[in-house]
Chain A
């Protein structure tokens, strides 16, 4: 399929009627961002993709709309002329915009296809819808690999489900898919037939099924028993070997035990000796803990006792003296303390006389002098009484330290025999002797242990298959292993009897089955038919898989060729496409020797050229497999990261493919001081191409006012 012409009428930024007349080779459209490159993709999508979700309000030229009067209308359309084989198709998709106060009104979208026979020149209206036609002239699977609006689109698409779908469609696999369908349909039919007939002989079929089920169960049981017996036999042999090893080594075991016992005893002795030494070595501790400090204390303690006794005696003496003194003073006071002479009235009578002011003896009034005398006598009496009261025993010793000393003296318990010089000297001597004795014992024992260890090693060397642990427990293990072995032997015997029974049962079942089957040979034959068909289906699947792989291999080889072509003079390695899973295809980079190539080894340009090479390869192979039909490729040139030389090479390769390519790019453009773009002709003329267009917005314009935008197309060389 070739796109000859694309006309955009009042379509987006393309004001009025603008046409691209494409070459069937390499077309390059130069344009700056905003100058209408993307609109070309939009136009192709709008016309070929029935699911394009473009809003009509987005599509019409705002400049044209601004020019028409209210209620006036204008047409918006895309016309695409393509040729395929001997026919030319003019495809038209249009609608009318009517200006309205509030918002524009749109007519329904109209589609029109004209078909022209290129041999006769005859033209006819084609009644198909555009989407129907598109399925023939530019199928979706190809479009997916033909149109890439941005650089990255192309890079993304070469992997995954879409590529897998394409590989399936264009490898020979699709033919085997048909075979698959045929086999499946036959199988179903045969199966139905078989089942239908089976219903007639339900009883006999049931009988066979029943036998088959039983056979499955019995076989499973037999397998289980066989496994169990095999497992148990292994165990029995293991224990037998162990037991015979142990029996052989009984004597060694006894020797080993003796050595172990000796080492243990020697170690116990060492431990004891060390412990004793530790205790005996603590002579300094004993000074305090065992009161060896008191070695010269007997003189002190006896001196202390004597002193306390003396103090006690002295204190008693002082005490007695003080008490005597007091008693005497008190007596003295008592003796000379009566204030009233004999026959003198008592205190009560004297106080009464004073109160009544009448003498009780003479019964006359008291005279002042008498009154004074009585008062004096009473005062004297009271004074004497007070002194008597105060004359109590004073505290002689406010402190009681001598008692405290006495208590200490009585409470301490000295054991002079323990702290005597001789005793301690003996103790030291004995301790030193013991320590030295212990030390030589420890040394001797350590030597013996080392000898015994050597002996033990020599012993163990005689029996390399037995661990020390096993040797130690030889008799215990012998018993244990014997029990284990006997248990297994019994179990094996039981299982063997069971196995005989099961085998007998199986033979019976098989006999019955053969007998039953011989009566229903026809059913058996039908079963075989289904089996054959299933086998056929499986073969088809395998072949399909092979074809898929072959196609991937071809694709990989072709992609690698492109890769090398685009990157002449560079070490590129190889591209390998592979089936990632049932649904996806992926690619990896390999070195020439098929080792995995790290992405780090690739330049940026080389990385980009890989998916691109795959795309070219897809385009090639797809066209070769699809009745030799070629499809155009329309894409945004991913040469941003290329050096000028590499870029030149890229376009050269593209041209050499001799297929229709429409490449849009902003490369080769410059801009003057008014920001008006121009083509860098020196550079661009070295680029191989068949036809070139330069699109740019008509000056002046305001990018924020769509009604000022009009893209113009210029053909350049």
Chain B
């Protein structure tokens, strides 16, 4: 039996290259496990890995319903199935379940005709559907990244001003649909 999630998780999503500076600003360069958490602390980064920031941006975009189409796509070369997989030196646990939550979000939000997809015997049909899921994912991530960038543009040190700032920002994103000014 083919699993759509498995096929999807083998892909490496990207983001628009205009957000590369904000990745450099807020995330450790590496995507491996190891001592990235300590490194992030030492170097003043918010996110231990690039994909953590990507997930964060995705959910921000999702909750605020911010989407932005792909334009000059760049990736950080780390496929979804690897995200949150490794245990860290700092004692952090793996968080691969987050892959499920992203997938659920995409299935919930996509317009793909799943009844038709269930009936498709052509492999290409499935691939096309997965590409649509990735496009949607990138669209939310880009949307979230735009919000992050806007925040940094207005307040350069916002995310490093306090340890709880990134969490606060996320909190605000969940309520932004009701109050546009918060973010």
Contact = CB atoms under 8 A, between A and B. Distances in A.
A291 interface: yes
Contacts of B164: 283, 428, 431-432
B115 A297 contact: no
A286 B166 CA distance: 11
B172 to A, nearest CB: 10
Given A288-B98, A291-B97, A293-B170, A398 B46 contact: no
Nearest to B64: A296
A287 B164 CA distance: 10
Contacts of A397: 118-119
A286 B167 contact: yes
Nearest to A400: B1
Nearest to A432: B164
B103 interface: yes
Contacts of A288: 52, 55, 84, 95, 98
A287 B166 contact: yes
Nearest to B7: A401
B168 A428 contact: yes
Contacts of A307: 107-108
Nearest to B168: A428
A287 B165 CA distance: 11
A399 B2 contact: yes
Interface string A378-406: 00000000000000000011111110110
Contacts of B3: 401, 404
Contacts of A225: none
A208 interface: no
B163 A295 contact: no
A547 B47 CA distance: 96
A362 interface: no
Interface stretch (A170-178, A298-306, A537-545, A562-570): A298-306
Interface string A426-439: 00100110000000
A234 B108 CA distance: 92
Nearest to A302: B108
Interface in A457-516: none
Given A400-B1, A401-B118, A412 B104 contact: yes
Nearest to B103: A408
A315 B114 CA distance: 9
Interface in B40-75: 46-48, 52, 55-56, 59, 62-63
A294 B104 CA distance: 12
Interface in A241-277: none
Interface in B107-141: 107-109, 114-115, 117-121, 126
Given A399-B119, A404-B5, A431-B164, A289 B173 contact: no
B4 A401 contact: yes
B81 interface: no
Interface in A13-44: none
A296 B118 contact: no
Nearest to A322: B119
A293 B166 contact: no
B86 interface: no
Interface of A is mostly: helix
Contact of B101 (A293, A315, A405): A293
Contacts of B63: 295-296
A153 interface: no
Given A284-B163, A315-B115, A304 B104 contact: yes
Point out which of B63, B101, B166 has the most chain A C-beta atoms below 10 A from its C-beta: B101
A289 B96 CA distance: 10
B153 interface: no
B31 interface: no
Interface string B167-183: 11011011100000000
B100 interface: yes
A669 interface: no
A300 B108 CA distance: 7
A424 interface: yes
B106 to A, nearest CB: 10
Nearest to B173: A296
B175 A421 contact: yes
Interface in A408-466: 408-409, 412, 421, 424-425, 428, 431-432
B119 A398 contact: yes
B39 interface: no
B108 A303 contact: yes
A409 B37 CA distance: 32
A488 to B, nearest CB: 56
B21 to A, nearest CB: 20
A405 B92 CA distance: 29
Contact of A428 (B48, B95, B167): B167
A673 B62 CA distance: 115
B55 A396 contact: no
Given A304-B104, A399-B2, A425 B171 contact: yes
A308 to B, nearest CB: 8
A297 B55 CA distance: 14
A292 interface: yes
Given A283-B166, A396-B119, A296 B101 contact: no
Nearest to A404: B3
A601 interface: no
A400 B118 contact: yes
Contacts of A431: 164
Contact of A398 (B37, B59, B120, B168): B120
A409 B98 CA distance: 14
A431 B175 CA distance: 22
B35 interface: no
B10 interface: no
B70 to A, nearest CB: 22
A301 B104 contact: yes
B150 interface: no
Given A400-B2, A402-B114, A412-B97, 19 more contacts: A281-B163, A288-B98, A291-B95, A292-B167, A292-B170, A295-B174, A296-B62, A307-B108, A318-B119, A396-B119, A399-B126, A400-B1, A400-B118, A401-B3, A405-B114, A408-B100, A409-B104, A425-B171, A432-B164
Which 8 residue pairs across A and B have the least CB separation, nearest first? A296-B174, A296-B63, A304-B108, A397-B118, A283-B164, A283-B167, A398-B121, A401-B4
27 contacts: A283-B163, A284-B47, A291-B97, A292-B170, A293-B56, A293-B59, A293-B98, A293-B101, A293-B170, A295-B171, A297-B101, A304-B104, A304-B105, A311-B114, A311-B115, A315-B115, A398-B120, A398-B121, A399-B120, A400-B118, A401-B114, A402-B114, A405-B4, A408-B5, A408-B100, A421-B171, A431-B164
